[in-house]
Structure 1
Amino acid sequence: MTSNLSDRMNRYLRADVQGMHGYAVQPSAGLVKVDTMENPFRLPPELRRALGERLAEVALNRYPAERGDLLRDALARHAQMPEGCSLMLGNGSDELISLLTLAADLPGNVVLAPVPGFVMYEMSAKLQGLGFVGVPTTADFQLDGPAMLAAVREHRPAIIYLAYPNNPTANLWDDGVIDAIIEAAPGLVVMDEAYQPFASRDSLDRLKRHEHVLLMRTMSKFGLAGVRIGYLIGRTALIRELDKLRPPFNVSVLNCEAALFALEHVQEYAKQAATIRAERAKLFDALAALPGVHPFPSEANMILVRVPDAARLFAGMKARGVLVKNVSGLHPLIANCLRITVGTPEENPQILAALRGALEELHA
């Protein structure tokens, strides 16, 4: 007797997986795409040609091996990795988060993070069967120090994630509160610095001072979102254990080569980041001047904006050719908030015009 596909799925696939929502990616063809915090700049034509010629020489018939080793060394130099530490590559930060959760998969273990925050911390924990504790920030998106420390004492988390700057709120945390959490943490503390190229501070010194601190970064915001390179730095003994869980060829040889090329031209990406920071300041001031619009201070390449009606303004901006992210449903603290990636000098006036037009329509 055979069963239909639905019966097979219900019997052999996890019910919680079938009941969850997948990570949504919005179609963006034909739109000004400012919804996913990408670097909006491509390489100059001469560097694109040079990269194409270099990739054409890659041995696609061979598994990645030593190219990954070379990339680890290059990233260690780029990040100024401290003595006594090692670096682990991931297929983006998402894979590293999944592997960290897998490594901590022991009965009773808990993952803790402030909320609103990056959704993959909670998703990875729940998929692996770990508990997740989200501690709300204050109304102005700062860490609630007493609440965080109380949660650490109560839940004894195996992993604490602190995004620095945070996504989607784009702010840095108070350094004194961070240090108190690190001191109180019984397990690992992961400083997620995905947006480090746009921030005024980093956590490299914390990595040097604390053996249980891990530093996670990505080349996605650097300018290689399509290449999918994440990396994790920590004490060698710790990274050695975590690296056992990494698929042996998780980063393709093409991705390795593109990342190596980018690190050889780091000044071009640094120039792009400087332009984005300058555009962020101009965009922030222009948003603040719009009636009913409240932008929050940003240390990333995005600005969180509270608006009168996020759903209608999102739709109105999209109808005018600009795609932003409506994050209102992620947490009550960011109700009626849109997240806007900083675009190019040509795109940012289009963003403002679309929002201005949508606001006028809203109040008509």
Structure 2
Amino acid sequence: MNSLFRKDLSDFKPYEAEVNNCKVILNANESFINIEKQLEDEIISVIKDIEINRYPDPTGEKLRKIYGSYSGTDKEKIMIGNGSDELISIICNTFVNSGDKIVKLNPDFSMYKIYGVLHGAEVLEYDLKEDFTLDIDDFIDFINYEKPKVVFVSVPNNPTGGIVKKEDILKLIKSVNSIVVIDEAYFEFYGNTVIDEIDNYDNLIILRTASKIGLAALRLGFLITNSTLLMELYKVKPPYNVNSITQEIGALIYENKQVIEDNISRILREKSSLQISLLSLSERINFKLYPSGTNFILIEIYEAKELYEYLKNNGVSVRFFGKGRLENCIRITVGNRDENRLLLEAINKFLGDR
């Protein structure tokens, strides 16, 4: 049987999502606000009207129109996906032949590499500087030397929270002969975007997600690009990739833009409070907080593994990386007031037990 397996995947390590039994879950960059409760009656109403015996709209016409209004672009420039993960796979399947190169930053979202490898690409990683900032000119030189088919950059970066200025993103796009994918998964928290530039560059693709605004369970992502690239991408997209329930709930949520904006403001207030508290704690022990344009905070601490295990044993789940550039880093999703309090109390106790 082993002779039937792909030899190039013999040492491949799949992404392993953590099964979480902790009381306080701050490891996956989800929203702590249950938007379902805010719009419960409306959600029940749209679900009741779904004809579950029928296939979903293959292109999500209604959802694309509403998201186009929400995001400030035309529905004809949007593709919907089963999470942005599927859209990353579609991009690779559209443009990458076996042996072609893909470039991603290190560190950055791990799924770029995973889908690249699964599609037979040679995945090259360009290291961010020691402070996790990007030398844009050197990065451009690296890309032009390696000549990859596709370049992936998350802005803001996951997992560091760092940003790349818009002028640097545009410099990148116009300076390389590659498809440049700008993943704006955390756009709502950062506020800046290059979505208004999609018709100005023939090699630009933008990714967005509903997961960070409170719809992680729906698995809903958006791809925005020009008509030429979109036509190629539709050759690869499965016909019924986003189910009807996700489409209808997604359309309802994005129609309620004020609810989303209010929730984002609430999360950012909690983030500010958490940052202040963590900065105060950092004075007791030498750990570093990195600037963040997202709904999470990355800290670097020598005792990262010990702190992670201590928090988990006390019912608080955070993201521990434990290898490479992130060996001593912990990523903390912003929780609600009570969750952040429990987190801080546990960190305080960890420091006191030293």
TM bracket (short chain) = over 0.9
* Mapped contact 2:73–2:196 kept (Cα < 8 A): no
Which whole-Å deviations, capped at 9, do the CAs of 1:277-333 have from their partners, x for residues lacking one? 11111111111111223211110000000112111100000111100000232x32x
Supply the AA of the counterpart residue of 2:31.
Answer: N
Aligned to 1:244: 235
Match of 2:319 among 313, 319, 325: 325
In structure 2, the gaps of 5 or more residues are none
* Mapped contact 1:136–1:144 kept (Cα < 8 A): no
Which whole-Å deviations, capped at 9, do the CAs of 1:174-206 have from their partners, x for residues lacking one? 334323221221021111000001004222233
Aligned to 1:101: 92
TM-score by length of 2: 0.94
Aligned to 2:119: 128
Q: d(CA) in 2 for partners of 1:176 and 1:321?
A: 43
Aligned to 1:185: 176
Supply the AA of the counterpart residue of 2:12.
Answer: M
| Percent identical residues | 29
* Mapped contact 1:142–1:174 kept (Cα < 8 A): no
Matched, 1:151 2:134: no
What is the deviation of 1:249? 0.5
* Mapped contact 1:170–1:299 kept (Cα < 8 A): yes
Aligned to 2:101: 110
Matched, 1:71 2:60: no
* Mapped contact 1:195–1:221 kept (Cα < 8 A): yes
What is the deviation of 1:211? 2.2
Aligned to 1:219: 210
Matched, 1:346 2:338: yes
Aligned to 1:286: 277
* Mapped contact 2:26–2:318 kept (Cα < 8 A): yes
Q: d(CA) in 2 for partners of 1:16 and 1:359?
A: 45
Matched, 1:37 2:29: yes
What is the deviation of 1:66? 6.9
Query: The residue matched to 1:209 in structure 2 has which SS?
Result: coil
Q: d(CA) in 2 for partners of 1:50 and 1:200?
A: 28
Query: The residue matched to 2:208 in structure 1 has which SS?
Result: strand
In angstroms, what is the RMSD of aligned CA positions? 1.8
Which whole-Å deviations, capped at 9, do the CAs of 1:151-182 have from their partners, x for residues lacking one? 11211111111111000001111334323221
Aligned to 2:296: 302
TM-score by length of 1: 0.92
Aligned pairs for 1:56-95 (under 5 A) are 56-65=48-57, 68-81=60-73, 86-95=77-86
* Mapped contact 1:220–1:228 kept (Cα < 8 A): yes
In structure 1, the gaps of 5 or more residues are 1-7
* Mapped contact 2:83–2:209 kept (Cα < 8 A): yes
Query: The residue matched to 2:217 in structure 1 has which SS?
Result: coil
Query: The residue matched to 2:14 in structure 1 has which SS?
Result: coil
What is the deviation of 1:233? 0.7
Aligned to 2:258: 267
Query: The residue matched to 2:126 in structure 1 has which SS?
Result: strand
Cα distance change of structure 1 residues 75 and 44 upon mapping to structure 2, 3 Å threshold: closer
Number of positions where the alignment pairs a residue of Structure 1 with one of Structure 2: 351
Cα distance change of structure 1 residues 217 and 45 upon mapping to structure 2, 3 Å threshold: closer
Aligned pairs for 1:162-177 (under 5 A) are 162-177=153-168
Match of 2:307 among 313, 321, 335: 313
